[in-house]
Structure 1
Amino acid sequence: MPRKQIITPSRIVNTAVVGVGRLGRFHAQKHAACPAANLVGVFDADGARAESVAKETGCHAYTDLDKLIADVEAVDVAVPTSLHHQVGLQVLEAKRHLLMEKPIASSSAEARELVNLANKKGLILQVGHIERFNPGVTALRGIDVHPSFVEAHRLAMYNPRGADVSVIHDLMIHDLDVLLHWMGHEIERVDAYGVPLLTKAVDICNAHIRFKGNKVANLTASRISMKKMRKFRMFQEDAYISVDFEKRRAEIYKRVPPGTPKALPIPGADDHDLRVLIKRTRAKKNEDALQREVDAFVAAVANDTPPLVGGMEATVALELADEIARQANESS
């Protein structure tokens, strides 16, 4: 699968952030730090919060959302998921480019409406699937990743933030986006199970997904665990690839011919000539996935190029999440 790359922005883009709660505040900080962005203003239903973030980031706090949208070229929306569709339509109808926090919308029908409107008006619609910008993932660009078996675990301690949706739409959707990116969209069967424990929605879920070509993925997501884990393990005929999203690194164990420099034997393997070449990647100290995400959006707007994570990709991930959630709800 060809990899999209970030192209250096050709000009400065006037931007805004709508919704500056805990996550939106970080978005505003990244816009303020982006060399190709001019953060004009922020908006929040809580005026005092907007004033605080505006002061911190050196922009204006707007009390009129329509006025803020009119004053910029691109809008970053970080409101609660239930408002994504409403605010997204408002931005796109005003012919402004849109970066929407994940998930793209509350339902696939709402998501498709946003995608169709963006296409109709010729606008950039990028979705904030931040793991695509994780150094552990970006380190694999240029490497042939074509897994036939995937095992993923995303575990977190309980946090009321995000509890308005199920763990599938809050956490597992990150892994679904990455999974579809690497395994494609030809899904043959989905089996999912889940239970609600601390909220009315599903808090822990396991999904078994079978793809065309006898490719399989097992995903587990929990927001009621005692420790954090975000690992994605992939197996293919010539390699084992592990991505640790938490530690922002990847490990690649690639099968190579005997005699390959720096290759190591595998003790106990049936094939005594089997050798593997091990590559480990580590994130640089200041590598910031959210900054990369914002920079990529601004670059796409400035250069009129496709976003790295487009609206249609996010919609397919949401549709899969919806099916997993449906089955998980029925099993609980």
Structure 2
Amino acid sequence: MAKLRTAVIGAGKMGSLHTRIYSELELSELVAVADSDASKAGELAEKYGCRSFSDPEELIGKVDAVTIAAPTDSHLKIAAPLIENGIAVLIEKPLASSVEQGEEIARLGREKGVTVAVGHSERCNPVVQAMDRLEIKPRFIEANRVSPYPFRSTDIGVVLDVMIHDIDIILSIAGSPVKSVDAVGVDVIGQNEDICNTRIVFENGCMANVTASRLALKTERKIRIFSSQAYLSLDYFRKEGIVIQTAPNVDVVEWIRERQKEPGFSFENVNWPDLLNIENLKIEDKEPLKVEQSAFLEAAAGKRERPIVTAEEGLAALQCAYKILESIKEKAWQ
């Protein structure tokens, strides 16, 4: 299989991770690292035996696919000339610093016929992959993503930094346009919100309650999904989950109904979970970023139809995030 010449723009923490993975993938020939800080780019390039550049446009003509792990407000400026020159790009989330810029990136990708992926790596989390296989149609979703202060991404609030992971996942499984958004957010440390809770209502009736915080005392990344087919409880952080499907538990419901009719029967010693058919999700422990980048390169090489998260999906998550931010502003605390 012919290799694609790859490069990473951004030599920070995320850029370092992407560079390491490109150096490991069979479909990748790591060519370069680019960063406005030439010393950082040089250090990372030396570690992985490739070239370094301080100007991303110097990569044009030298690479086939690029991951952009630079600050969000530079995504459009960096991505546009690459896309226009036929170079596939994977852009770290969020897609852009505004909906308008996100729309421009998506438009360029469509018009040039170039693969544009967005780095919502949680979509590649083995828990999410397992959930997709069950083809659940949710009616209510509850997601919590909280952690101690990360001391990074201080230029954006918790919605674009953290909650957007769950927004992308929820949009992908709700399968319906957003009807309304109601949110409240609080800024504690900086000028952007550090805590946010939002309720998203979809046109098909599905509802989602989403909480994100970067001021918690411990890390928690969980989602619960309720549907007529099953109940799922998933822990992204621990990479584990359970599913309680309706069909195997019909007899349990009927047994309870019959016992309720019996005079004097007591449920005092009955343990509800012991009655249920509870299945542990089978989860393949694969590195999300590696799954994401491998799919991106396969899409760029024409080996698969699309990357894990397309530009259009990244744009939808961005649009929903900005609706949440608008709702926060409407309820701004004085």
The residue number in structure 2 matching 1:290 is 289
Q: Give TM-score scaled by structure 2 length.
A: 0.90
Structure 1 residues 48 and 266: CA distance shift in structure 2, 3 A: farther
The one-letter amino acid of 1:311's match is: A
Paired residue for 1:192, among 168, 183, 193?
183
Paired residue for 1:145, among 125, 136, 141?
136
Q: Give TM-score scaled by structure 1 length.
A: 0.90
Q: In the TM superposition, what whole-angstrom CA distance separates every residue of 1:51-94 from its partner, at most 9, and x where no partner exists?
A: 11112222111234222232001111000111111111121122
Q: Is the 8 A contact 2:249 2:277 kept in 1?
A: no
Q: Is the 8 A contact 2:183 2:196 kept in 1?
A: yes
SS in 1 for 2:8: strand
Q: Is the 8 A contact 1:137 1:250 kept in 2?
A: no
Structure 1 residues 250 and 258: CA distance shift in structure 2, 3 A: closer
The residue number in structure 2 matching 1:281 is 281
Query: 1:147-162 to 2 correspondence within 5 Å?
Result: 147-162=138-153
Residue 279 of structure 1 deviates from its aligned partner by 2.0
> In the aligned structure 1, how far is the partner of 2:246 from the partner of 2:163?
30
> In the aligned structure 1, how far is the partner of 2:308 from the partner of 2:242?
23
The residue number in structure 1 matching 2:313 is 313
SS in 1 for 2:211: strand
SS in 2 for 1:141: helix
Structure 2: gaps spanning 5 or more residues: 261-271
SS in 2 for 1:201: coil
Query: 1:253-264 to 2 correspondence within 5 Å?
Result: 253-257=244-248
SS in 1 for 2:131: coil
Paired residue for 1:218, among 194, 198, 209?
209
* Identity score, percent: 33
Query: 1:48-59 to 2 correspondence within 5 Å?
Result: 48-59=39-50
Say how many residue pairs are matched: 318
Residue 159 of structure 1 deviates from its aligned partner by 1.7
> Which deviates more from structure 2 when the two are superposed, residues 300-309 or residues 113-122?
300-309
The residue number in structure 1 matching 2:29 is 38
Paired residue for 1:121, among 112, 116, 119?
112
Residue 284 of structure 1 deviates from its aligned partner by 4.8
Paired residue for 1:62, among 53, 58, 76?
53
Structure 1 residues 272 and 45: CA distance shift in structure 2, 3 A: farther
Q: Is the 8 A contact 1:300 1:307 kept in 2?
A: yes
User: Which structure has the highest helix share of the two?
Assistant: 2
Q: Is the 8 A contact 1:20 1:53 kept in 2?
A: yes
The residue number in structure 2 matching 1:322 is 322
Q: Is the 8 A contact 1:254 1:276 kept in 2?
A: no
> In the aligned structure 2, how far is the partner of 1:19 from the partner of 1:166?
21
Q: Is the 8 A contact 1:255 1:276 kept in 2?
A: no
> In the aligned structure 2, how far is the partner of 1:271 from the partner of 1:245?
38
SS in 2 for 1:67: helix
> In the aligned structure 2, how far is the partner of 1:69 from the partner of 1:280?
47
Structure 1: gaps spanning 5 or more residues: 1-9
> Which deviates more from structure 2 when the two are superposed, residues 32-41 or residues 304-313?
304-313
The one-letter amino acid of 1:327's match is: S
> In the aligned structure 2, how far is the partner of 1:258 from the partner of 1:32?
48
Q: Is the 8 A contact 2:5 2:64 kept in 1?
A: yes
SS in 2 for 1:70: coil
> In the aligned structure 2, how far is the partner of 1:14 from the partner of 1:230?
35
Structure 1 residues 200 and 272: CA distance shift in structure 2, 3 A: farther
The one-letter amino acid of 2:220's match is: M
> In the aligned structure 2, how far is the partner of 1:276 from the partner of 1:239?
12
Does 2:240 match 1:249?
Answer: yes
SS in 2 for 1:240: strand
Residue 276 of structure 1 deviates from its aligned partner by 4.4
